[in-house]
A and B are shown apart, each in its own frame.
Chain A
Amino acid sequence: MNSLLRTPLYDLHRELGARMVPFAGYEMPVQYLPGILAEHLGTREAAGLFDVSHMGQAWVSGPKAAAMLESLTTADIAGLGEGRQRYTLFTNEQGGIDDDLMIANAGDLYVVVVNAACKTADFARLQGAAGAGARVGILDDHALLALQGPKAESALEPLVPGVGRLVFMGAARFVWNGAGLFVTRSGYTGEDGFEISVPAGHAMRFARALLDRPGVKPVGLGARDSLRLEAGLCLYGQDIDASTSPVEAGLEWAVARRRRGTGGFPGFARFARELAEGPRRRRVGIRPDGRAPARAHAEIKDAGGSSVGEITSGGFGPSVDGPVAMGYVAAGAATPGAALQLVVRDKALPARIVSLPFVPHRYRKR
């Protein structure tokens, strides 16, 4: 435990009574005193504040920045307007996914947010692709907070006037008490909300100011996971990894239209082939019929008892009020409504393929 890193909000987590766990090399809050259920439901009903400072933040600038980012990812960066953000993928030569990430156009530079567990490799990848026309910097002196839920805007607007003008996947700079913020209207819960990059030295005061707003409660990694699962969003390392492809994962939409024709990202050959011929397997949503959750690595069988795949994320969905799961099944078995059996503790639990998400997204699109 002694080699674990701490975020700038560590003391606040302790003060709030969080239960701390090791996660991606950091000591992170998995839950606070109210517990995962209350934190999850509170986010969907009002607003939740998440410390996601363990994630990797970087910037890329220069005349060749867009071309450099396009050489590594599936996004249309050249066509990404100022003040807009995209979800995209770092792919590998075999056509698998090395990480999923967000890229925002801040005008003079691009802001990149990557997963905590992948950030060392991701930063090396960015720095390896940098050159005369594309410079890379690591924002390791910034915290990252996510404020999510239907009351996120009313909580944030009085502190940071103007954030309400952002729409889903919009991005802009703001100033709070002399601290420069970079705010995007995005998140990982399926709810409306914001992710806010704040200089580490101001993070504590900013987080306290947010927690003082009506409806805002701290939320740990436990509810972050159940919220993203209900929203049908992939967790890197579980639902997607170096062996799964964008088409298998149902993330074709993260490959920009222009890039589908021109390629130019690692693994394009596999992408083009799977888009044309269909993948071998597909990620699907799964609802167990009963109350028992089926968790990651549970075997999936078809109604006839043949093995067709494996659960990659599964648990209890507090808003669904029942078990929910995602997993990969053979392409021929990936039919919405199809009956499945999930092998849990040597017993076959009846389940059904359903379309994702389990809880409708409530993004603020206009």
Chain B
Amino acid sequence: MSDTKFTEEHEWIRVEGGIGTIGITDYAQKQLGDVVYVELPEPGRKVEKGKDMAVVESVKAASEVYAPVSGEVVEINAKLKDEPATVNAAPMAGGWFVKIRLSDPKELEGLLSETAYRDFVRGLH
């Protein structure tokens, strides 16, 4: 079974079998506008909850993407190199950034449920 969790920095993570797939939310891609470049970490890199993990560049600015939980990068979405606009088109699906092996699955408990995230975004307006 899989369950998607969210951060207040607008990342999402979906965990299956100890591997978490991470991306940015639809709200985030709308705020960024047209994505023109994504800088992803090398597979094998250790990432730390709340710390820089990737960079997403829109026409107007570069934005940091933070790791929602700690772990080791096991796969990156190579498609984003040539088709960064996938992040705009399908942020929660084909526009995923990385997959990581979680080092502390308990960290998931501190993240937002889909309902809680939706309420959080509503509160931003």
Contact = CB atoms under 8 A, between A and B. Distances in A.
Given A31-B33, A222-B33, A36 B39 contact: no
Contacts of B58: 36, 316
Contacts of A223: 59
B88 to A, nearest CB: 8
Interface in B62-99: 62, 81, 84
Interface string A272-296: 0000000000000000000111010
Contacts of B84: 291
Interface string A303-329: 000000000000110100001000000
A75 B36 CA distance: 40
B57 A36 contact: no
A225 B60 contact: yes
A293 B33 contact: no
A316 B62 contact: no
Interface in A322-351: 323, 345
Contact of A292 (B34, B37, B59): B37
B55 interface: yes
Interface residues of B, number: 14
Interface in A19-41: 30-31, 35-37, 40
Interface in A28-64: 30-31, 35-37, 40
Contact of B60 (A30, A291, A292, A345): A30
Contacts of B57: 292-293, 316
Contacts of B55: 345
Contact of B37 (A31, A222, A291, A318): A291
A141 B84 CA distance: 44
B58 to A, nearest CB: 8
Contacts of B33: 31, 35-37, 222
Contacts of B34: 35-37
B39 A345 contact: yes
B50 to A, nearest CB: 18
Q: How large is the interface on A (under 10, 10 to 19, 20 to 34, 35 or more residues)?
A: 10 to 19
Contacts of A315: 59-60
A197 interface: no
Nearest to A36: B59
Nearest to B82: A291
Contacts of A36: 33-34, 58-60
A40 B61 CA distance: 16
A226 interface: yes
A310 B100 CA distance: 36
Nearest to A315: B59
Given A316-B36, A316-B37, A37 B62 contact: no
A309 B60 CA distance: 22
Contacts of A35: 33-34
A338 B39 CA distance: 26
Nearest to B55: A345
Contacts of A40: 59
Given A36-B33, A37-B34, A345-B55, A222 B60 contact: yes
B59 A295 contact: no
Contacts of B62: 293, 295
Contacts of B81: 291
A30 B58 CA distance: 13
Contacts of A345: 39, 55
B39 A318 contact: no
A37 B60 contact: no
A274 B36 CA distance: 39
Given A293-B36, A345-B39, 14 more contacts: A30-B60, A31-B33, A35-B33, A35-B34, A36-B33, A36-B34, A36-B58, A36-B59, A222-B60, A291-B84, A292-B39, A293-B37, A293-B57, A295-B61
Interface of B: 33-34, 36-37, 39, 55, 57-62, 81, 84
9 contacts: A35-B34, A36-B59, A222-B60, A223-B59, A291-B36, A292-B37, A295-B61, A316-B58, A345-B55
